[in-house]
Amino acid sequence: MAKVRAAIVGATGYTGAEVLRLLLGHPGAEVGLLTSREPGAPIAETYRHLAGLCELRLDPFDPDRVAERADVAFVGLPHHAAMEAVSPLYERGMRVIDLSADFRLRSVETYRRWYGEHFAPALLAQAAYGLPEIFREEVRQSRLVATPGCYPTSVILPLAPLLRDGLVAPGGIVADCKSGVSGAGRGLTQDTHYTEVEGGLRAYKVTAHRHQPEMEEVLARVTGADVRLLFTAHLVPMKRGILSTVYADALPGADLARVRASLERAYGGEPFVKVLPAGTWPDTAHVCGSNYVHLGAAFDAERGKVVLLCALDNLVKGAAGAAVQCMNLVFGLDERAGLCAAPLFP
């Protein structure tokens, strides 16, 4: 079978580069085009770890050329810039997998409140939410997939089954999430300067992070309930990984066994989600570089709380890995293709 031909639009950001890394090892796809706002040089000049592994040069973005050279475009641009690239590619009949926030929300109003104007609202309804463990069929049948935010994946995966199974209340949820620095991207800021990050730990955008409405909207869609969730993001001195600790009020009938059973029922057959043995807890180091997600759960009967823990690699399952997983589904490939490498530990 002919390989799927992929283009990466915005190849010099970390998510674009991670898509490239994964596709270089994909048996059924090949990368034919890389674009950048600063075209000209080989990608291996920006990313020296690709020395000798990828000879492609950076091209300017031209939708006709992308459509001619590729079957699918991965869009690794910031929001707003993403929608400007997605629209013309979609119009040319391409399959598009967008890693930005531009097509994650269904509600134009919510988008406007958190991100500003949306220029392609009609496309919102076309976009599948690229979390195959929950929206597999939608992804399969869509020409436009919006991969979830890295934090939302880590919160939605553990919560969705428990909400659906009526084990936890949809209100009063707390998601305390911790991320490595690659989640902040490759752009230079004082906050991600080495000496300002190393050895420190801090929260940021407290009660004001854009991933909160995404979590609430998607969980409401999945469960039919009015989910209210308070999300706090923290920056941890490590390169990759998200650990989310989610606290929810137990509903009557819930106990540890039922909570674990709910997770195992939901994910027992999933290739990339592992429910850890009771009493063991996810560690971001144990999923580093991989598409795997580790889940754990605890139950505090005295305080009536369920504690859920979720570890994933923000650049893989939190971004580029999810994107490749969706590409596999869209093109009818083995969902696991190119994504089965074991985590890099230590």
The residues assigned a catalytic role are 150
The reply on whether position 112 binds a copy of itself by CB under 8 A is no
The reply on whether position 311 binds a copy of itself by CB under 8 A is yes
Q: What is the dihedral of CA 35, 37, 39, 44, to 10 degrees?
A: -70
Name, in order, each residue with C-beta under 8 angstroms of 91's C-beta and a sequence gap of 6 or more.
63
Contacts (CB under 8 A) with a copy of itself, residues 209-228: 228
Nearest approach in angstroms of CB 237 to a copy of itself is: 5
> Binding a copy of itself by CB under 8 A: which of 5, 24, 28, 143?
24
Tell me which stretch binds a copy of itself (CB under 8 A): 105-113, 130-138, 155-163, 169-177: 169-177
The reply on whether position 317 binds a copy of itself by CB under 8 A is no
How far apart CA 144 and CA 167 sit, in angstroms, is 33
Among 255, 269, 274, residue whose Cα is nearest residue 165 = 255
How far apart CA 215 and CA 235 sit, in angstroms, is 19
How far apart CA 191 and CA 89 sit, in angstroms, is 34
Among 227, 256, 231, 250, residue whose Cα is nearest residue 242 = 231
The reply on whether position 283 binds a copy of itself by CB under 8 A is yes
Q: Which is nearer to a copy of itself, 74 or 299 (CB)?
A: 299
The reply on whether position 346 binds a copy of itself by CB under 8 A is yes
> Binding a copy of itself by CB under 8 A: which of 56, 81, 108, 174?
174
Among 209, 208, 196, 289, residue whose Cα is nearest residue 237 = 196
> Binding a copy of itself by CB under 8 A: which of 67, 108, 261, 298?
298
150-164 and 132-140 helices, crossing angle to 10°: 100
Nearest approach in angstroms of CB 312 to a copy of itself is: 11
Nearest approach in angstroms of CB 52 to a copy of itself is: 5
> Binding a copy of itself by CB under 8 A: which of 194, 252, 253, 269?
194
147 close to 326: Cβ distance less than 8 angstroms = yes
Nearest approach in angstroms of CB 252 to a copy of itself is: 16
The reply on whether position 168 binds a copy of itself by CB under 8 A is no
